[in-house]
Amino acid sequence: MFDFDVLKISDVPSGDREQDVLGFDRVRLDALVTEYDALSAEHDGEVSDENVARFERLEDEIEALKGRDRYAPDVIARCGVFVALGYDGRLRIERGFLRAEDQLSEPEEGDEDGDGTDSIASEIDPEGSSDEGESGAENKALLSDRLVAELSAYRTAGLRAALTDRADVALIAVIHALASQTFYRGHEVGTCLAIEAKSAALAIHAPGIDESPAARRAGTRHDAWAQRLPHHVRDLWPFVLALTLEDRLALLAYCAALTVDALIVKGDRHPGGRAHADALAQALAVDMTASWKPTAASYFGRVSKARILKAVREAVSDEAAKRIASLKKEPMAEAAAQLVAGTGWLPALLRTAQSSTDAAVLPSTLAAE
128 and 157 together in one domain: yes
Higher pLDDT, 334 or 279: 334
Q: Is the pLDDT of residue 34 over 60?
A: yes
Q: Is the pLDDT of residue 141 over 60?
A: no
Output the pTM of the full model: 0.57
Higher pLDDT, 197 or 306: 306
Among residues of the chain, what percentage have pLDDT more than 70? 61
Q: Is the pLDDT of residue 185 over 90?
A: no
Among residues of the chain, what percentage have pLDDT more than 90? 28
Q: Is the pLDDT of residue 173 over 60?
A: yes
What is the spatial distance between Cα 293 and Cα 304, in angstroms, rounded to a whole number?
18
Q: Looking at 140-299, list the stretches that DSSP marks H as alpha helix, in order from N- to C-terminal side.
A: 145-164, 167-183, 213-228, 236-242, 245-258, 272-284
| Domain boundaries, position 141 | 109-165
Instruction: Give the confidence band of 84 by pLDDT, cuts at 50, 70, 90.
Output: low
Instruction: Give the confidence band of 24 by pLDDT, cuts at 50, 70, 90.
Output: very low
209 and 248 together in one domain: yes
| Domain edge (last residue) among 98, 130, 165 | 165
Q: C-alpha angle with apex 10: 6 to 14, nearest 5 degrees? A: 120
Instruction: Give the confidence band of 368 by pLDDT, cuts at 50, 70, 90.
Output: very low
Higher pLDDT, 61 or 257: 257
148 and 185 together in one domain: no
Residue 356 within a domain: no
- The number of distinct structural domains making up the chain is 3
